[in-house]
Amino acid sequence: MEKKNKKIFFIGMVLLLCLQIIVLFYYGSRKAGFHEDELYSYYSSNKTAGLFVNDREWTTGESFRNELVVLPGEQFRYGVVKQMQSWDVHPPLYYYLLHTVCSLTPGIFSKWQGISVNLAGFVISFILLAYAAYLTAVYPISRQPELSDSQKQAYRKRGYALAGTVCAVWGFGAAVISGVMFIRMYQWLTVFVLSCLCLHLRVLVRKRENWKFYLLLAVTVFLGFLTQYYYIIFHFFLGVGSCLYLLKEKKWKSLVAYVGTCAAALGAALVYYPSALSHIFKGYRGTEAVGEFTNASNTLERIQFFAGLFDKYMMGGFLAVWLLLICLIAVTNRFLQKRAKRSGREQKRERILTPPVGLLLFTAAVGTAAAAAYYYMQQKDSQLKESSDADDDYDDFHEDLDESTEFSRNYVPLNASVPASAPTEETAETEASSSSSDFTPLSGQAADLSGEEGETVEDVEEFFDEEDAEDEEPPVNEE
């Protein structure tokens, strides 16, 4: 029975992952243009000579393009990538990955090079998230060794359901899709954050540490730090909780080994990439992050800000309603537990909708609905803009032309249309005579502009001569 459940779970997760990858490919095909930071990702990974814009000198588009692609003969130059990042404010691991993909496709610049790197990180994150959700669900088994086989199997079934629900919520979320489309290092930061989480959950469930755990922990800290410095913030709080747990359990050797492993991995990362110290403590981004981290005066405002973003873009403005519903589920669950205990009957926990499961189910439904609603509103807004009257917007240069117009508004000819036949001699003579009749000599224009009757051209010239005479310098008498 257990093997059958595992097989069904495995097939379902593979199908779910394939469906999410199809969705990501769809949004990838719709991606148009680049954020400036995305272009910096390509430039930092594939620099050839550097972008130098000299004043009053023309720079060709080919020169710019060569700085964003790996030219033939310049593949796998990881030393240049590391040097480029030492001048920036980020660690180099993500740029190594992007440079590797671009080196396999030299001379090509494509959005799919960056998206493919993030897709690989998405697949790894999907697996790690499913494992973390499963470990969370089966954690009570380690706390209650007296459970029967049927009860343990019930927890494992709950783990399968929780893993599938969490991955469905996560993979179809608007934030995750945007993260994959955004050609930066944050998707791979997610990989190492989830790796760190899985390692700690595994230790809690199995209640033992071995050399494999410490080796994987060291690798995770090393690679996570070299991906994004924000990894240290996450690991710091998780590490404090782990140390407190080891102190409570009086596992002194495990505590020393844990702290020593983290410190050694962090030290190795600094030895490999010493520029990190200047980035964190002297760079503009590092000093800004350290200042925000040490300043707790606006912590409540930050929480309100991110809660507002989550409510607006993920929950459609109904976060308070769903939180109230989850609280009602929790109260109902507690009431059923007490009633079962008073009646002396064994409670079937697996049949009660717990708050975490309820939260995940609601997030799955609302997240999918929010993404669909957002796409619908985008389409509706674009249609309204197209059908709006041009007089309402003085900056609208896309107004429809008359039906008799030769060219549509989406096409502008570079050359004017050539007449079907050359003009005849009569036409040419007529145009010449009309142009000559319209010509007015300069003297006539001056007479018209004078504005006074009886004033001749000679008077006007005499007037200007008098002014010039006043401005002239007196002659120098030579003795």
Q: Give per-residue pLDDT as tens, 88-138.
A: 889 999 999 999 999 999 999 999 999 999 999 999 999 999 999 999 988
pLDDT of 401 over the 90 cut: no
Token pair belonging to 19: 């469906």
Contacting residues for 470 by C-beta, under 8 A, at least 6 apart: none
pLDDT tier at 394, thresholds 50, 70, 90: very low
The radius of gyration of the chain from alpha carbons, rounded to an integer in Å, stands at 36
Is 426 or 69 the better-scoring residue by pLDDT? 69
Whose structure tokens read 């309402």? 392
Q: Which amino acid is at 339?
A: R
pLDDT tier at 57, thresholds 50, 70, 90: confident
Angstrom distance (rounded) from CA 272 to CA 267: 9
Is 382 or 70 the better-scoring residue by pLDDT? 70
424 φ/ψ angles, rounded to the nearest 5 degrees:
-75, 170
Other beta carbons within 10 Å of 179: 18
Angstrom distance (rounded) from CA 280 to CA 289: 8
Question: Quick one: pLDDT at residue 106?
Answer: 95
> Angle 328-329-330 (CA atoms, 0-180°, nearest 5)?
90
pLDDT of 348 over the 70 cut: no
Question: Quick one: pLDDT at residue 20?
Answer: 97
Phi-psi region of 421 (alpha: psi -120 to 50; beta: other; left: phi over 0): beta
Average pLDDT over residues 331-356: 63
Is 412 or 11 the better-scoring residue by pLDDT? 11
CA dihedral of 269, 272, 274, 279, whole degrees rounded to 10: -60
Angstrom distance (rounded) from CA 49 to CA 74: 11
C-alpha closest to that of 196 among 178, 173, 222: 222
SS (HEC) of the chain: CHHHHHHHHHHHHHHHHHHHHHHHHHHHHHCCCCCHHHHHHHHHHHCCCCCCCCCCCCCCHHHHHHCCCCCCCCCCCHHHHHHHHHCCCCCCHHHHHHHHHHHHCCCCCCHHHHHHHHHHHHHHHHHHHHHHHHHHHHHHHHHCCCCCHHHHHHHHHHHHHHHHHHHHHHHCCHHHHHHHHCCCCHHHHHHHHHHHHHHHHHHHHHCCCCHHHHHHHHHHHHHHHCCCCCHHHHHHHHHHHHHHHHHHHCCHHHHHHHHHHHHHHHHHHHHHCCHHHHHHHCCHHHHHHHHHHHCCCCHHHHHHHHHHHHHHHCCCCCHHHHHHHHHHHHHHHHHHHHHHHHHCCCCCHHHCCCHHHHHHHHHHHHHHHHHHHHHHHHHHHHHHHHHCCHHHCCCCCCCCCCCCCCCCCCCCCCCCCCCCCCCCHHHHHHHHHHHHHCCCCHHHHHHHHHCCCCCCHHHHHHHHHHHHHHHCCCCCCCC
Other beta carbons within 10 Å of 70: 27
Q: Which of 110-114, 288-292, 330-334, 347-351 has the highest mean pLDDT?
A: 110-114
pLDDT of 384 over the 70 cut: no
pTM of the model: 0.69
pLDDT per residue over 178-196, tens digit each?
Answer: 999 999 999 999 999 999 9
pLDDT of 385 over the 50 cut: yes
C-alpha closest to that of 125 among 54, 179, 86, 80: 179
pLDDT of 398 over the 50 cut: no
